[in-house]
Amino acid sequence: MIGGLFIYNHKGEVLISRVYRDDIGRNAVDAFRVNVIHARQQVRSPVTNIARTSFFHVKRSNIWLAAVTKQNVNAAMVFEFLYKMCDVMTAYFGKISEENIKNNFVLIYELLDEILDFGYPQNSETGALKTFITQQGIKSQTKEEQSQITSQVTGQIGWRREGIKYRRNELFLDVLESVNLLMSPQGQVLSAHVSGRVVMKSYLSGMPECKFGMNDKIVIEKQGKGTADETGKSGKQSIAIDDCTFHQCVRLSKFDSERSISFIPPDGEFELMRYRTTKDIILPFRVIPLVREVGRTKLEVKVVIKSNFKPSLLAQKIEVRIPTPLNTSGVQVICMKGKAKYKASENAIVWKIKRMAGMKESQISAEIELLPTNDKKKWARPPISMNFEVPFAPSGLKVRYLKVFEPKLNYSDHDVIKWSSSTFREHLPGPSTQIDRPCGSSGSRLSCLCSVTTHAATEVQNQGTSTIKLLFCWCLTTCIIS
């Protein structure tokens, strides 16, 4: 198991050192500093073995977190734990920086004592931890409170405490998708997959039971032809999900047997699920780059983007980022639409368009002056990237329903569910995105990454059963073309 945990700053000075096992000596701290932080070459592996001691490290801004062990530990678990540790620290004091760590070091030691016992990770849900690890000094709790804390920390629903109360019960749902696209130089799509995340923000009272449904092909097919009339409406009714993973609050055995997603949500923001699809991906934009080298000191770039969706829909906040070589001395840009600027600090031309309807195209051309260099190091030719918002999801994912049921407080009811699913269809054209990108001078290879955010907010008000209002807003489609 984990033998010790160290946190270093960028210079390699130890900020936090907590040793759990006897086999980890004092010299382990230095061994890592010398061999990894101060190593001359780039780090070639996140796992390093120095003198029979294994070090796992992750880096957050310029802070190094390293876990040490001498045993054959579960490596995946150690990394998962390190990420979790970062999440917990972020939840407590914001950004992980040297200053924040120094200011909170008592707190960090306290956390380390609680979430790692003899190298075994224990409950590390922030919600639960915050009930008894506070920075205010614990007021003497009553006996009930104490046992409530312990039963929560060890209980089956360790991620949520009892007795949460909100005046307004609200639940927000975001669908964020990123498209990864690989194109051949001829413009043929080699592979494309969407990895999506469903992020929830829940502000609900009590212990609500939630049920989440989407247009998953398997479920739809199971339900049979009863809903056959619906299929005609929007063409693509269901999507084939290749794989999905869930937050620990979701009952996996239930998903396995019935494919229904039911859970008691933690309070606040969390990632409910991740999914991956590869079939029938809608690509909203097409990027066609042309790069021409004119002599050794000049580069001509032309980029065309074409929107590839229904003309009635609008894409917004489009931002195209065209990387330029490091030895760029000046850039002249001409674009037909939107604004474009060369940002020397970022080594890129940034082109912004506020709105663009479907089935349109726009282009930018730029002349890049280069300083002659004899630097032999090649330019890595980073990909062109693109961000935008569109009102549909590339994967075609749609939220079918989100049911909330709280047995004691009773702020939810069947009406909500029906209502919500119908509103959804009309209002939420769903967001989606697509991208392509070209790279470097030859323009030979395109691979794209695009992310889309669908944002649906469900507001459930606790004013009796009939006046429940649902709001859906969609938002943010971000797409990075890599």
Show binding-site residues. 339, 341, 343, 352, 354
What are the structure tokens assigned to 389, written together? Answer: 């918002």
Among 31, 91, 182, 288, contact with other proteins (rule: CB under 8 A): 182
Which of residues 150 and 465 has its CB atom nearest to other proteins in the complex?
150
Q: Which of residues 412-441 bind other proteins (CB under 8 A)?
A: 439
Identify which of residues 120 and 414 has a Cβ nearer to other proteins in the complex. 120
* Residue type for position 21: R
Burial state string for 3-35 with b = 16 or more CB within 10 A and e = fewer than 16: bbbbbbbeeeeebbbebbeeebbeebbebbbee
Count of residues that interact with other proteins, criterion CB under 8 A: 96
Strand partners, 301: 291, 366
Comparing CB distances to other proteins, the nearer of 416 and 435 is: 435
* Whole-number Cα distances in Å, 391 to 240, 310, 453, 471, 475: 20, 11, 9, 16, 8
Nearest distance in Å: CB 378, other proteins: 5
Pick the piece of the chain touching other proteins (CB under 8 A) from 80-88, 164-172, 408-416, 465-473: 80-88
Least distance between other proteins and beta carbon 390 (Å): 22
- Find how far residue 248's CA is from the centre of its chain: 17
Q: With contact defined as beta carbons under 8 Å apart, do 433 and 394 qualify?
A: yes
DSSP per residue, 26-39: THHHHHHIIIIIT-
Q: How far is the CB of 227 from other proteins (least distance, A)?
A: 26
What distances in angstroms separate CA 168 from CA 163, 204, 212, one per listed residue?
A: 15, 8, 20
Cβ atoms 19, 105 nearer than 8 A: no
Which of 279, 382, 401, 409 is the binder for other proteins (CB under 8 A)? 382
Q: Which is nearer to other proteins, 67 or 416 (CB)?
A: 67
Stretch that binds other proteins, among 150-158, 312-320, 393-401, 405-413 (CB under 8 A): 150-158
Radius of gyration of the chain (CA): 26
Output 54 or 432, the one with its CB closest to other proteins.
54
Site residues (CB under 8 A) for other proteins, limited to 95-114: 105-106, 109-110, 113
Min. distance of Cβ 228 from other proteins in angstroms?
29
Give least dist CB 145 to other proteins, A: 10
Interacting positions 10-69 with other proteins (CB under 8 A): 16-17, 20-23, 35, 42-47, 49, 52, 54, 56, 58, 69
Residue ranges in 227-266 that form contacts with other proteins under rule CB under 8 A: 242-248, 251-253, 255-256
Residues 269-288 close enough to bind other proteins by CB under 8 A:
271, 273-274, 276
Residue 390's alpha-carbon distances to 306, 309, 381, 452, in angstroms, are 14, 9, 28, 8
d(CA 221, CA 239): 11
Instruction: Answer yes or no whether residue 201 interacts with other proteins by CB under 8 A.
Output: no
**Both structure tokens of 11:** 């210079």
Of residues 322-381, which lie at the interface with other proteins (CB under 8 A)?
Answer: 377-378, 380
